[in-house]
Amino acid sequence: MKKDKATRRRERKARREAKRQLRILERESPITAAPASGERDTIAAAFEAEDTGLATAPARSRLPLVPAGPARWEIPQGARPGMRVPARLYADQALLQDIAEDAALEQLANVATLPGIVGHALAMPDIHWGYGFPVGGVAATRVDDGVISPGGIGFDICCGVRLLRSDLTLAELERGGRRERLADALARAIPAGVGEGGTTTVRQLDRLLAEGARWAVAEGYGWERDLECIESHGTFPGADPDAVSARARQRGAGQCGSMGGGNHFCEVQVVETVYEPQLAAAMGLAEGMVCVFLHTGSRGLGHQVCQDYLALMQGAMRRYGIQVPDRQLACVPVRSPEGQRYLGAMAAAANFAWANRQLLTHQVRQAFSRVFGRPAERLGLDLVYDVSHNLAKLETHVVDGRPQLLCVHRKGATRAFPAGHPELPARYRAQDCPQPVLIPGDMGRYSYVAVGTEAAMRETFGSICHGAGRVLSRGEAKRRLGTVNIAALLAERGILVRAGDPRALAEEASEAYKDVADVVDTAERAGLARKVARLRPLIVVKG
């Protein structure tokens, strides 16, 4: 569409302003472009009522939940002022209890107020309270006139999971004390935890931010054929390294090739159960096979990008006349200069995450190679898939009978495209295999490989759950389990743990998480997902 001179002038001016704002953020004394303290709109007031911040614990949800089908519930559009669409929650009765205990549903209703949102504000069975957007949510907005909101992606941009298969069986791993040696080798090879840097300092950060996993492979980390099995081939189109602030680069520079702490992990697992033999075979999986799950994201760089743009957008929002019930839902129109700049920065952060997982994959393969005395190629350590659960993607979906270009925000939710989708690797398309979805459980329990269904494509913009979801806060978990020797208990069950800080294991114990089986079963009952395989942990490496 041709633009007239006036429009082009306005847009140039807005772009300059956005650049100016970003430079302000980068100065020594950081200035956040936040709205004045006193500013509260009527929607915010309606939502927060007598809430005085942390003084009161999140109240039990009082929102109406209307049954809307098997494992489906709806919060009607009229339930709260400002909702533009209804909200939909996928959960069964048992999960509902936990979900209604915190303010996740209120947050879901807040998401439904975003300008340009279509369909429903969606919540997966693993939904829990987050900041602004709940974790385990999907929100799609029209690209033409809708908004992009960094909170709908999360701080850990492109946090995701990658699965490697192998030619090794459990028996081969058990032979000659190899399991212990592999645990030690992995712990040494993978920097993890609070305050830990990466294996590689990156002088040429620009190339990494522009090319992601492709950069890593070009530098000798991993194999060319890995790229095909990464979402977006490991390179997010439209990445704009210039949109990543100096602060974000400083945080990221020393961290590429590191795992981080918290719920990030590297696990060696064995395929325990195969539910769909044909799909499992197409993915290169079989019962008794040793596999590796890797879970990490964009480290400090992604966190800083989210932080920078939340601040930027809070100021810019006023100019676009957008009001949101929660400051953390800061957003701007997708097509605005600020929106485009965030998308460029987000894409660069995603590239950082994919490069990070590619570097870690290289470390993992080297560790296996040293222990088994053969090159990783001869161990068959191939990539099954790498997919993120904190990302926004521009995708075309059918809404109201016609295809529309949407900005699909997935925070704690995984893209799950059906068989034959053009985004999928050629070898999966050839075998009529849908996109693999990797769903990690907590470290004491199993993980799943699943696929999305056509119903998911229709109802949830091709999205399903991402993991177990916490039920206990870190503090509560430490209180209940702090004195328990978690590593010893897991060792009794045949799981070797190598943790940088053993005392932090309590926070990651099974008791602190929902049972991922419930989450995945619910998604299956709702017709959104099909289980392909279940994997059991053998070695856990954590920060």
Partner 1 sequence: MADQAAGFETVDHTAEVGLRAWGPDLAAAFVQAARGLFSLLVPLERVQPVRQREFAIAAEDLEGLLVAWLEELLFVFETERLVFADFTVSRPSRTALQAWAWGEPFDPARHRGGVAVKAVTYHRLAVVEGPPARVEVILDV
Catalytically active residues, by annotation = 466
Question: Residue 485, interface with partner 1 (CB under 8 A)?
Answer: no
Tell me whether residue 283 is exposed, middle or buried, using C-beta atoms within 10 angstroms of its C-beta: 0 to 12, 13 to 18, 19 or more. buried
Question: Taking a C-beta distance cutoff of 8 angstroms, is the pair 157, 298 a contact?
Answer: yes
The H or E element that residue 25 is part of is helix 5-26
Q: Which of 1, 5, 20, 37 binds partner 1 (CB under 8 A)?
A: 37
Cα 489 from Cα 496, distance rounded (Å): 10
Binding span for partner 1 by CB under 8 A among 125-133, 160-168, 270-278, 525-533: 125-133
Size of the site for partner 1 (CB under 8 A): 62
What are the tokens at 379?
A: 């161990």
Fill in the per-residue mask, 360 to 399: x = in contact with partner 1 (CB under 8 A), - = not in contact.
----------------------------------------
Distances (CA, A) of 55 to 50, 51, 52, 513: 11, 8, 6, 25
Binding span for partner 1 by CB under 8 A among 9-17, 168-176, 298-306, 346-354: 298-306
Binding span for partner 1 by CB under 8 A among 180-188, 359-367, 422-430, 472-480: 472-480
Query: What is the number of other CB atoms lying within 10 angstroms of the CB of residue 518?
Result: 18
Cα 27 from Cα 362, distance rounded (Å): 36
Cα 498 from Cα 540, distance rounded (Å): 6
Question: Residue 307, interface with partner 1 (CB under 8 A)?
Answer: yes
Binding span for partner 1 by CB under 8 A among 190-198, 275-283, 396-404, 441-449: 190-198
Number of residues that make up the chain: 543
Fill in the per-residue mask, 75 to 104: x = in contact with partner 1 (CB under 8 A), - = not in contact.
---------------------------x--
Cα 471 from Cα 136, distance rounded (Å): 13
Q: How far is the CB of 504 from partner 1 (least distance, A)?
A: 7
Query: What is the number of other CB atoms lying within 10 angstroms of the CB of residue 31?
Result: 12
Q: Which of 116, 132, 337, 418 binds partner 1 (CB under 8 A)?
A: 132
Max CA separation in the chain (angstroms): 75
Q: Which of 193, 212, 241, 440 binds partner 1 (CB under 8 A)?
A: 193
Q: Which of 89, 183, 330, 538 binds partner 1 (CB under 8 A)?
A: 330
What are the tokens at 114?
A: 């975003």
Select 130 or 257, whichever has its Cβ closest to partner 1: 130
Q: How far is the CB of 58 from partner 1 (least distance, A)?
A: 8
Cα 209 from Cα 352, distance rounded (Å): 6
Question: Residue 34, interface with partner 1 (CB under 8 A)?
Answer: yes
Question: Taking a C-beta distance cutoff of 8 angstroms, is the pair 35, 314 a contact?
Answer: yes
Question: Residue 212, interface with partner 1 (CB under 8 A)?
Answer: no
Question: Taking a C-beta distance cutoff of 8 angstroms, is the pair 359, 216 a contact?
Answer: yes
Select 129 or 461, whichever has its Cβ closest to partner 1: 129
Select 26 or 74, whichever has its Cβ closest to partner 1: 26
Question: Taking a C-beta distance cutoff of 8 angstroms, is the pair 522, 125 a contact?
Answer: yes
Site for partner 1 in 514-533 (CB under 8 A): none
Fill in the per-residue mask, 148 to 187: x = in contact with partner 1 (CB under 8 A), - = not in contact.
-------xx-------------------------------
Cα 533 from Cα 530, distance rounded (Å): 9
Q: Which of 3, 9, 10, 31 binds partner 1 (CB under 8 A)?
A: 31
Select 144 or 501, whichever has its Cβ closest to partner 1: 501
Q: In degrees rounded to 5, what are phi and psi of residue 152? A: -80, -5
Instruction: From 446, 469, 406, select the one nearest 531 (Cα to Cα).
Output: 446
Select 166 or 245, whichever has its Cβ closest to partner 1: 245
Binding span for partner 1 by CB under 8 A among 205-213, 281-289, 296-304, 342-350: 296-304
Question: Taking a C-beta distance cutoff of 8 angstroms, is the pair 355, 213 a contact?
Answer: yes
Q: Which residues bind partner 1 (CB under 8 A)?
A: 28-37, 51-55, 58, 102, 128-132, 135, 155-156, 193-196, 247, 250-251, 254, 260-262, 300, 303-304, 306-307, 310-311, 314-315, 326-328, 330, 470-476, 500-501, 503-504, 507, 543
